[in-house]
Amino acid sequence: MNLIDANHLTLRFGSKTALNDVSVKVPKGRVVGLLGHNGAGKTSLMKALVGLLPVQGDLTVLGLRPRQDRQKLLEQLSYIPDVAVLPRWARVSELMTLMSGLQPKFSAERARALLKRTSVSENDKVKSLSKGMVAQTHLALIAAIDAKLMILDEPTLGLDVVSRKSFYEMLIDEWCDGERSVLISTHQVEEVEALLSDVIMLDEGRVALAISLEDIDRRFVALNHDPAAAEAMAAAHPLLRYRELGRTTSLFDGTPPEHLVQLGQRVRPSLVDLFMALTRNPALNPKQA
């Protein structure tokens, strides 16, 4: 069973379409990056997954209907929204007591073990913590829930690079176990690429690409070439051409003709390059992905 099974989801706010025929699946044991420009529909999709927004289409999360079975769903799911805050007046120990009363699958013992990875103590008040420490505290509280799925909407927004690295290290080391899955929305693509098993790219409410990173390497070919080969590469209509290592790289969907392969050196396209190629191409047919 897929932990997330979404088919033909549509969501409109008046004349604006936030989600347009979105279909995605997330099996167990995956770390999935959700990428998209501002306004692409990332937050709308995440809110629909946790039952905060009604959508047209067929949607199950952990085998449940998010709107109809929301209370039961939230007992098995961890969620940090993009506007997540912790009460500044509270001590960390008080937050743990609160979580114990609200979430039956929360383990205070587990939260204490996770906090030992940080410089946060139970006696600290939230208002005395840095942004990075607050983010780590929030993750420790959420990761102490015995859940199968974690949904994170821009969890490291506004943090410095060291705090972001510490956050993701805790997430991967302490929560991902091959059975649970994580869906992460972020603009720091380069920092999470090495952590991901899959990626979903949204463009103006549509799925531009939903694929594993393994299949990216099989499907997309990037050729780094000299200027002399530029005309031949352009004639083959690459998805994107960009500068890298002082030379031009041409990115293709599928293997280009052999004579072009001989003109360049194959390099691995980054998620940023691929994202730019697919979301800048108005002729892209999402169903091809």
Residues 36 and 135 in one domain: yes
Question: Which residues fall within 8 angstroms of residue 29, CB to CB, at 6 or more apart?
Answer: 177, 178, 179, 180, 181, 197
Q: Are 41 and 205 in contact (CB under 8 A)?
A: yes
Residues 190 and 231 in one domain: no
Domain boundary among 170, 204, 238: 204
Q: What is the mean pLDDT of residues 237-264?
A: 88
Q: How far is CA 169 from CA 162, 166, 179, 267, in A?
A: 11, 5, 18, 27
Residues 121 and 238 in one domain: no
Residues 224 and 113 in one domain: no
Concatenating the DSSP letter of every residue in 221-251 gives EEEEE-GGGHHHHHHT--SEEEEETTEEEEE
Predicted confidence (pLDDT) at residue 251 exceeds the cutoff of 90: yes
210 domain-assigned: no
Q: What is the reported pLDDT for 245?
A: 67
Neighbours of 151 (CB within 10 A): 27
- When mean pLDDT is compared over 54-68, 159-173, 179-193, the highest value belongs to 54-68
Q: What is the reported pLDDT for 282?
A: 45
d(CA 171, CA 169): 5
Q: What is the reported pLDDT for 190?
A: 86
Question: Which residues fall within 8 angstroms of residue 209, CB to CB, at 6 or more apart?
Answer: 199, 200, 201, 274, 278, 289
Q: Are 203 and 36 in contact (CB under 8 A)?
A: yes
Q: Domain containing 122: what range?
A: 4-204
Question: Which residues fall within 8 angstroms of residue 207, CB to CB, at 6 or more apart?
Answer: 22, 23, 24, 200, 201, 286, 289
Quote the percentage of the chain above a pLDDT of 90.
62
Domain boundary among 204, 234, 255: 204
Residues 92 and 181 in one domain: yes
Residues 170 and 76 in one domain: yes
Q: How far is CA 269 from CA 113, 192, 210, 213, 287, in A?
A: 38, 15, 16, 11, 21
Of 90-99, 170-179, 241-250, give the lowest mean pLDDT range.
Answer: 241-250
Please report which confidence band the pLDDT of residue 6 belongs to, taking 50, 70 and 90 as the band edges: very high
Single pTM value for the model: 0.89
Predicted confidence (pLDDT) at residue 124 exceeds the cutoff of 90: yes
Q: What is the mean pLDDT of residues 96-114?
A: 93
Q: What is the reported pLDDT for 280?
A: 67
Structural domain count of the chain? 2
Is the model more confident about 149 or about 178? 149
Residues 219 and 140 in one domain: no
283 phi, psi to nearest 5 deg: -85, -5
Q: What is the mean pLDDT of residues 267-289?
A: 69
